[in-house]
Amino acid sequence: MPPRRSLCIFEIIFVIVLATTNGSLVIGDPSGCKFPAIYNFGDSNSDTGANSAAFTQVPAPYGETFFKKPFKRLSDGRLIIDIIAEKLGMPYLNAYLDSIGTSFRHGANFAAAGSSILPGPFSPFDLAAQMSQFSQFKSRTAELYCNSSSSASDGTIPNPDDFSKALYTFDIGQSDLTLAFQNRTPPRVIISTFPGILDRLSQSLQQLYGEGARAFWIHNTGPIGCLPLMAFQFRFRGGTLDSNGCVGFMNDVAQEFNRQLKGSVAQLRAQLPLAKLTYVDIYSSKLELIINAKSQGFANPLDNCCGTFLPYVVMCGTSMQLNGTTIHGSSCSDPSTRISWDGIHYTEAANLWVASRILNGSFSDPPVPISGACP
Ligand SMILES: *[C@@H]1O[C@H](CO)[C@@H](O)[C@H](O)[C@H]1NC(C)=O
Ligand SMILES: *[C@@H]1O[C@H](CO)[C@@H](O)[C@H](O)[C@H]1NC(C)=O
Ligand SMILES: *[C@@H]1O[C@H](CO)[C@@H](O)[C@H](O)[C@H]1NC(C)=O
């Protein structure tokens, strides 16, 4: 066998075809970026199948609103990452770990529920694990694309050229905070861990840049103190909620995390001159929805649709035996009027509301819409 060359025959043909039919090679359309793929890293806010594939399938009534069946996501319907895929004209992202009926032609999703930036107890797929999966995915793609007559032609793996033109999205960090809150770590101690956490995130972005990634879309972390489960637990222990019905100190910690994250992104802009890094203020968009719930047509933001916390905790999709009676964590009659689906994850209605605000750039730094988030 001859030694591997860096360009394979498929790529050479592709380049010639492009050059002859188009006349120009990938000179950015000024009105928007042409992302051929999305690579996503994160937790349950953007997990489209990792946990479901690796561990246990998500139960009913998850998925009931949009997919009409449980569909690998911890919501009643689409997540923000699904709405991003739609917006960019791509199919929904498949989880890298999902081996059945999946295609990675337009990218892959490494996000897994419970994943934190640093190794944590909720998921083995912390950011370093997700990065390792990405590296394997990319190197295997290069081998298979050039070698195989099947994988490349049946369209299940991406063109290796697409890695440098893809959009790299991040929504991770909430689980690092959740763990600290659960351990009752004092806020100032939690905050002292942020530089280490954010260093790991920066290293990952630098590694991707080193592998050719250029367009990064980075969500900050949401108002975690406004999640109904957090608010319920805090009140149960005798705490008082703030005027928005949220756990004030948790939101303060989240905001400090976001302030430092924004600083890290600014530093990376100086270190990675060919990259376009967009910082997206998910926190403010979600808080705006929560504060204006009523005028936006939503019920009390503390009322999750699926599962109950009082008088007994019965999580969404589970059931509990009580004196011979079964109590189900079932869903409300109209999820479209709720912000929280299960006390931790947002409904599709809330995800659509937030996505419509963030994708047009009104919560971005710099203020570009997602279709303009390329260098
Ligand atoms: C490439 O194809 C050859 C012949 O089909 C096969 O023997 C070899 O294992 C393949 N290499 C990879 C990396 O898939
Ligand atoms: C269950 O039965 C016990 C004993 O009869 C009773 O004390 C308790 O209140 C019952 N619990 C509920 C939730 O009905
Ligand atoms: C983005 O969309 C929201 C909601 O549709 C709208 O209120 C806002 O003005 C838009 N912002 C920009 C910059 O277009």
**46 near 15, Cβ under 8 Å?**
no
pLDDT beyond 70 at 18: no
* 328 among known catalytic residues: no
Per-domain residue ranges of the chain? 3-298+349-372
Overall average pLDDT of the 130-158 stretch? 83
Q: Which of 143, 146, 148, 150 for mutating ligand 1's site (highest number of atoms within 8 Å of CB)?
A: 148
- Binned at pLDDT 50, 70 and 90, residue 156 comes out as confident
Structure tokens at 129: 């694990």
Ligand nearest to the CA of 357: 3
CA 363–ligand 3 middle distance (angstroms): 9
Residue in 82, 161, 281, 342 annotated catalytic: 342
State if residue 323 touches ligand 2 by the CB under 6 angstroms criterion.
yes
CA torsion sign, 67 to 72 to 75 to 78? negative
Look up residue 241 and give its two tokens.
Answer: 């909620």
| Ligand with the closest atom to the CA of 363 | 3
Whether the link from the prior residue into 366 is cis, omega within 30° of 0, is: yes
**pLDDT class for 11, splitting at 50, 70, 90?**
very low
Q: What is the spatial order of strands in the sheet that 107-109 belongs to?
A: 107-109, 38-42, 167-171, 215-219, 276-280, 364-365
Instruction: Tell whether the model's pLDDT for residue 21 goes beyond 60.
Output: no
- CA within 13 Å, CB half, 130: 36
- Is the pLDDT confidence value at 152 over 80? no
Cα 314 to middle of ligand 2, angstroms: 17
Tell me the CA–centroid distance for residue 60 and ligand 2, in Å.
28
Ligand 3 pocket test target in 352, 362, 371 with most atoms within 8 Å of CB = 362
Residue owning tokens 């005028």 = 295
What is the rounded average pLDDT of the residues 362-372?
A: 97
For residues 340 and 15, which has the higher predicted lDDT (pLDDT)?
Answer: 340
Give the model confidence (pLDDT) of 178-211 as tens digits: 999 999 999 999 999 999 999 999 999 999 999 9
Angle CA(266)–CA(223)–CA(80) in degrees, nearest 5?
75
Region 323-351: mean pLDDT is 97
pLDDT above 80 (res 302): yes
Would you state the pLDDT for residue 132?
98
Whether 219 is catalytic is: no
3-state secondary structure of 373: coil
Measured in angstroms, how far is the CA atom of residue 245 from the centroid of ligand 3? Answer: 26
Give the span between the Cα atoms of 284 and 292, in whole angstroms: 12
Of the two residues 334 and 150, the one the predictor is more confident about is: 334
As a whole number of angstroms, the distance between CA 244 and CA 221 comes to 18
Q: Which atom of ligand 1 is nearest to the CA of 144?
A: 14
- Indicate the pLDDT class of residue 317, thresholds 50, 70 and 90: very high
The number of helices, as runs of H, and strands, as runs of E, in the chain is 11, 8
| Helix ranges restricted to H, the chain | 9-22, 50-54, 80-87, 127-147, 174-182, 187-192, 194-210, 228-236, 248-271, 282-291, 348-358
pLDDT on residue 144 = 85
Question: Which residues are within 8 A (CB) of 171 and not within 5 positions of it... i.e. 6 or more apart?
Answer: 40, 41, 42, 43, 45, 46, 80, 81, 111, 219, 282
- What pLDDT sits at residue 148? 62
What is 3-298+349-372's CATH number? Answer: 3.40.50
Which residues lie across from 276 on neighbouring strands? 215
* 143 Cβ closer than 6 Å to some ligand 1 atom: yes
User: What gap in Å lies between CA 57 and CA 196, rounded to an integer?
Assistant: 33
- Of the ligands numbered here, which is closest to the C-alpha atom of 142? 1
Is the model's pLDDT at 374 over the cut of 70?
A: yes
Which two structure tokens, joined as six digits, stand for 137? Answer: 């995915």
Length of the chain: 375
Instruction: Give pLDDT tens digits for 65-122.
Output: 999 999 999 999 999 999 999 999 999 999 999 999 999 999 999 999 999 999 999 9
The whole-angstrom separation of Cα 105 and Cα 123 is 27
Round to whole Å and give the CA distance between 323 and 235. 27
Q: Kindly give the number of the ligand 3 atom that is closest to the alpha carbon of 367.
A: 13
Q: What is the pLDDT of residues 203-242, one digit of tens each?
A: 999 999 999 999 999 999 999 999 999 999 999 999 999 9
Q: Report strand pairing: 276-280 vs 364-365.
A: antiparallel
For the residues of 26-58, what is the DSSP string, one character each?
Answer: -PPPTT------EEEEESTTS-SSHHHHHS-PP
pLDDT at residue 17, as a whole number: 37
Q: Are 180 and 190 contacting, i.e. CB atoms less than 8 angstroms apart?
A: yes
The question of whether 345 is a catalytic residue gets the answer yes
Distance CA 170, CA 84 (A): 12
